[in-house]
Chain A
Amino acid sequence: MNAVTVHNLVKTYSSKKEKVTAMQDVSFTVKQGELFGLIGPDGAGKTSLFRILTTLLLADSGTASVDGFDVVKQYQDIRNRVGYMPGKFSLYQDMTVEENLEFFASIFNTSIEANYDLVKDIYVQIAPFKNRRAGKLSGGMKQKLALCCALIHKPSVLFLDEPTTGVDAVSRKEFWEMLKGLKQQGITILVSTPYMDEAAMCDRVALMQLGKIMSIDTPPNIISRFGEKLWAVRSANMYRLLTDLKKYSNTESCNSFGEYHHLVLKNDDTDAVLRYLGEQNHTAVELKPAQPNIEDCFMQLMNNN
């Protein structure tokens, strides 16, 4: 059985002046025990999708189920068995760390002790501050507490809405390590993120943009469908190099990627590129084959849509 099934979901928000389509005909399934990533920028429709699946929002049309339960007719069953960590910190700021965790355990008719194994690895990191009010915790600690509270009733499916947004690179790495640990305990995890590099940590990902899924597969399969030869180019003046390459008649696409620019050519005549860059007085030019990553694929899909 699939842990999550989404079928032709549409969600629009209307005000007097305008109508915004948050999700246009979204369909996918998530297998039990899978770590599934929704990758996309703000406005892709990730939060609307999570709110529909956690029964907090109704879709305009389409159907969805979690663990076989319908999100509209059987919302109570879903609420009992899923964990949800919203993008915005939503615990009680004026209760302590321990009080928050006890509270969430008790509303699910369980206790911290009953499911301690599941949260232990994460909770020990915040246990020294268990008498501190949640509002006084640092960002990283709040995130860990929120994750504990979402897990304390041993959910079968865990929904994490942008848990790493605004978080530094070290804490992001630690967070993904925690998710790997939870996956090993058999929990299905749906996680959304605007950071393309985090796609590599997921079993499968959906690349989303403006309410649509552009591609859905394992990260290696998505990358293998890039289908074009990619070159990494650098020179002494990277900004001028970018504008010159974009002007070049044989350029299909050129995007900055850290210390190199990623270049796709209409034909792979690299000698001609080097000659052209020489004519434009570029120095220290380096050109070599490169491996596309998820962000290359995302931009290619954005351009094709």
Chain B
Amino acid sequence: MKETVIKAERLTKKFGDFTATNQISFEVEKGEIFGFLGANGAGKTTAMRMLCGLSIPSSGNATVAGYDVYKQTELIKQNIGYMSQKFSLYEDLTVKENIRFYAGIYGMGSAEIKTKMNALLQQLQMTAEENSLVGSLPLGWKQKLAFSVAILHEPKIVFLDEPTGGVDPVTRREFWNLIYEAAEKGITVFVTTHYMDEAEYCNRISIMVDGKIEALDTPHNLKTIFHASSMDEVFLQLARGAKRTAD
């Protein structure tokens, strides 16, 4: 049976007289890879902040992992993982220190941290680097480590905000293999990207334009609906109509 892990109904956020996110409604199922696309300034970040329990909506409803985005934001934070390109790990802490720090933040006990840390270091083949500063690692390694740390506490959902920006093409693909593995384990993946080939790797995609969700479907169906040969074309058709240019 299908299990809904994110449910948004007419979710809206206003800043003064500016409506950043305008009545968006959608559902995401357990284990789904959900691509959240839109031009700069379309309202993606605002929507993501509400879903992560970091910003209270102006109106509308949403539940994330079964918890309410108005009243249960702390419970939401405990049940999700988050990673972005801009902020992921502490550069001046070692690999082990970062893992221990984040695991602690997510409320894991020290025995559990120890077991999981060793398994993780082996899985990523980073045991030799466990005492290296994260700042000295290649970007691709950092991103893979950051993702693994974000799901170490086995959250129901992981939010990834442009996780592969600036990463080389081989590492970018290895990163997506980690995403697939997480989804196969039942972790729901909510991801934003500017790479249109990565949009194809998602089970379903929503495209935001000027605060609203203008399209939501599988990549295949979107291409059929918009008579387009690639997701790039679908995106261009929708985003060209945008009036907003804000960030």
> Taking beta carbons and an 8 Å cutoff, which residues of A are in contact with B?
17-18, 40-43, 138-141, 165-171, 173, 194-196, 209, 238-239, 242, 255-259, 295, 298-299, 302-303
Contacts and interface: CB of A to CB of B under 8 A. Distances in A.
Contacts of A295: 169
A168 B39 contact: yes
Given A141-B245, A168-B40, A169-B236, A42 B167 contact: yes
B167 A41 contact: yes
Give the bracket for the number of chain B residues in contact with chain A.
35 or more
B41 A41 contact: no
B239 A42 contact: no
A17 B194 contact: no
Nearest to A210: B138
Contacts of B168: 40-41, 209, 298, 302
A138 to B, nearest CB: 4
A257 B38 CA distance: 21
A302 B184 CA distance: 29
B218 to A, nearest CB: 11
A296 to B, nearest CB: 9
Interface in B216-247: 219-220, 230-232, 235-236, 239-240, 242, 245-247
Contacts, number: 96
B165 A299 contact: no
Contacts of B220: 259
Which of A41, A173, A196, A242 neighbours the largest number of chain B CB atoms within 10 Å of its CB?
A41
22 contacts: A17-B136, A41-B139, A41-B140, A41-B166, A41-B169, A138-B246, A138-B247, A139-B247, A141-B245, A166-B40, A168-B39, A170-B240, A171-B39, A194-B165, A194-B166, A239-B184, A256-B176, A256-B201, A258-B197, A258-B199, A299-B169, A299-B170
Contact of B169 (A139, A140, A141, A298): A298
Nearest to B44: A168
Given A17-B136, A43-B138, A258-B197, A165 B230 contact: no
A173 B236 contact: yes
A42 B245 contact: no
Contact of A168 (B139, B165, B194): B194
A257 B200 CA distance: 9
Contacts of A41: 139-140, 166-169, 171
Contacts of A298: 168-169
B14 interface: no
B200 A259 contact: yes
A42 B169 contact: no
Contacts of A255: 169-170, 173
Contact of A43 (B139, B231, B242): B139
A116 B83 CA distance: 44
A18 B132 CA distance: 11
Contacts of A242: 177
Interface string B199-214: 1110000000000000
B186 to A, nearest CB: 15
B172 to A, nearest CB: 8
Which of B176, B200, B235, B242 neighbours the largest number of chain A CB atoms within 10 Å of its CB?
B200
Instruction: Please name the 5 residue pairs, one residue from A and one from B, whose CB atoms are nearest each other, closest first.
Output: A41-B168, A258-B197, A258-B200, A42-B166, A139-B247
B180 interface: yes
B93 to A, nearest CB: 14
B196 interface: yes
A175 to B, nearest CB: 12
